[in-house]
Amino acid sequence: MTALPKHLINSPSCSHAPENGTVASARPRCARPTPGAASGGCAFDGAQVVLYPVADAAHLVHGPIGCTALNWNNRGSKSDYGDFHRLGFTTDLQEIDIVMGGEAKLMQAARELVARYTPKALFLYNTCVGAMIGDDLAHVAKQLGQELGIPVIPVDSPGFVGSKNYGNKLAGEALLQHVIGTGEPAHTTATDICLIGEYNIAGELEAIEPLLRESGIRLLSRLTGNASFQELTWAHRARASMVVCSQALIKLAEQMHERYGIPFFEGSFYGFGATAAALRTFGTLLGDASVQEQIEATIARHEAATREALAPYLPALAGKRVFLYSGGVKSWSMVAQLEELGMEVIGTSTRKSTEADIARIRQQFEGTQKILMEKGDGKAILDIIEREGADMLLAGGRNLYTAIKGKIPFVDVNQERLFAYAGYTGQVELARRLHATLTSPVWDLAKTAPCWEVRS
Ligand code: SF4
């Protein structure tokens, strides 16, 4: 494998690294995977989270089949450009390849894949095994690119080099070095923007893109939810960009700012306040008065319609106490979204959150005894729910059974979910899901004594 990009390792925007390498952070550095404990959280996993949504490009994993199988198709990114992100391609390295080297097998697999599926581009991912046997992914990618006539992008992301977050950055680096700036759009406008770190989970862009269009803003490039490979190549022509998932790709936004002068901000589309703030910040960065007027009109129109649509759900949600066990940007943006629905968030998790995310949560929780949970397991979550008298748990699918064991209403808010909660329509969808869960008769039934106990 090639040398690790030092600027990413020492990145001050890494929430867990010391600022500028000097000032100690409140949190330790990004944890490195430990043997046997990297499942679902290695650098390779992080890289594919970022790049797999590019669905008209094929993604070939150079490693044992287990690396592919571990995280295959476990995110709900939707795409209009194909379904390569739903397929798993791997070189399935075996013992003999470890002895003889795997480059020939990688070349052969890539040829076969491209001949059979004709993707627009090919991403090659290195894993621990490919890196440890010394296969040269960059060299293979160059040779394949010349032979196959499509862009072939090496993503040097063996799991052992770092955390999932570090893998996110390696994917961003691969985009910056090999993809962004290699193409040109048919035309550009003064209101072209780029969304970075938005993965179109459950089709959330369907709620966001119309708002941008109504505001006179053109979404030039999506990195990477619902993106075509081609649009990634001209992301450098954007006039402003928004980092939607702050931890994953902020370094990419910083580098695009340095290299192409594209101003950026961190934001979210969860809830009235965040959505309006995101649109207004675009208006400010684009510096176009007519766009700013259109943004205000869009916000006013949608807020009014959304408040009307929310009315039937709000009485049942008012005052309900929620524990939000979700990491990253959702830990602060969803707190505000839930409070806008009249609910009370008793605490949230800060795992995978950046220092900036945590600062935002602290600001939201200021003057209260609300809980910031760094890391927890099912028992710790249930203890909090019982102690604090929470009415429901919002978390990822892995905690579904925690909620069932605790006989407490549960709504999935993580990447596997089937429903989109971003933008104004997402706000109504979230209210509908929360209402349906809270008012389901199943919870009263679950809390009654079982029939065999009643008989005795
Ligand atoms: S890349 Fe390494 S840590 Fe990640 S799944 Fe494969 S073997 Fe495990």
pLDDT tens, N- to C-terminus, the chain (456 residues): 666 666 666 554 444 444 444 444 444 455 555 555 555 578 999 999 999 999 999 999 999 999 988 777 777 889 999 888 889 999 999 999 999 999 999 999 999 999 999 999 999 999 999 999 999 999 999 999 999 999 999 999 999 998 888 899 999 999 999 999 999 999 999 999 999 999 999 999 999 999 999 999 999 999 999 999 999 999 999 999 999 966 678 899 999 999 999 999 999 999 999 999 999 999 999 999 999 999 999 999 999 999 999 999 999 999 999 999 876 666 778 888 999 999 999 988 877 666 777 777 878 787 777 877 877 788 888 999 999 899 999 998 888 899 998 899 999 988 778 899 999 999 999 999 999 999 999 988 888 888 888 766
Ligand 1 center to residue 171 CA distance, Å?
16
**Ligand 1 centre from 59 Cα, in Å?**
16
Tokens (6 digits) for 87? 């397929």
The total of other beta-carbon atoms located within 10 Å of residue 221's CB is 24
**Ligand 1 and 127: CB distance under 6 A:** yes
Q: Tell how far the Cα of 31 is from the centroid of ligand 1, in angstroms.
A: 15
A 10 A CB-CB count for 7 gives 13
Of 67, 98, 125, the residue with max ligand 1 atoms within 8 A of its CB, to mutate for a pocket test, comes to 67
pLDDT for the residue numbered 396: 85
Which residues face 264 on adjacent strands?
Answer: 241
Residue 445 Cα to ligand 1 middle (Å): 43
Cβ of 70 below 6 Å from ligand 1: yes
Residue owning the nearest CA to atom 4 of ligand 1: 159
3-state secondary structure the chain: CCCCCHHHHCCCCCCCCCECCCECCCCCCCCCCCCCCCCCCEHHHHHHHHHCCCCCEEEEEECCHHHHHHHCCCCCECCCCCCHHHCCEECCCCHHHHHHCCHHHHHHHHHHHHHHHCCCEEEEEECHHHHHCCCCHHHHHHHHHHHHCCCEEEECCCHHHCEHHHHHHHHHHHHHHHCCCCCCCCCCCCCEEEEEEECCECCCHHHHHHHHHHCCCEEEEEEECCCCHHHHHCHHHCCEEEECCHHHHHHHHHHHHHHHCCCEEECCCCCHHHHHHHHHHHHHHHCCHHHHHHHHHHHHHHHHHHHHHHCCCHHHHCCCEEEEECCCCHHHHHHHHHHHCCCEEEEEECCCCCHHHHHHHHHHHCCCCCEEECCCCHHHHHHHHHHHCCCEEEECHHHHHHHHHCCCCEEECCCCCCCCCCHHHHHHHHHHHHHHHHCCCHHHHHHCCCHHHHHC
58 CB under 6 A from ligand 1? no
pLDDT at 31: 52
Pocket of ligand 1 contains residue 67 by CB under 6 Å: yes
Closest-CA residue, ligand 1 atom 6, reads: 67
In this prediction, residue 329 carries a pLDDT of 61
Q: Is the CB of 44 under 6 A from ligand 1?
A: yes
Q: Is the CB of 211 under 6 A from ligand 1?
A: no
The closest-lying atom of ligand 1 relative to the alpha carbon of residue 45 is: 4
Q: Which of 1, 48, 60, 127 to mutate to test the pocket of ligand 1 (most atoms within 8 A of CB)?
A: 127
- Give the residue, out of 32, 34, 39, 42, with the most ligand 1 atoms within 8 A of its beta carbon, to mutate for a pocket test: 42
Regarding the beta carbon of 155 and ligand 1, being less than 6 Å apart is answered no
Measured from the CB, is residue 60 less than 6 Å from ligand 1? Answer: no
Task: Locate the ligand 1 atom nearest the alpha carbon of residue 129 and give its number.
Answer: 7
pLDDT of the residue at 287: 95
pLDDT at 414: 82
The whole model's pTM is what?
0.87
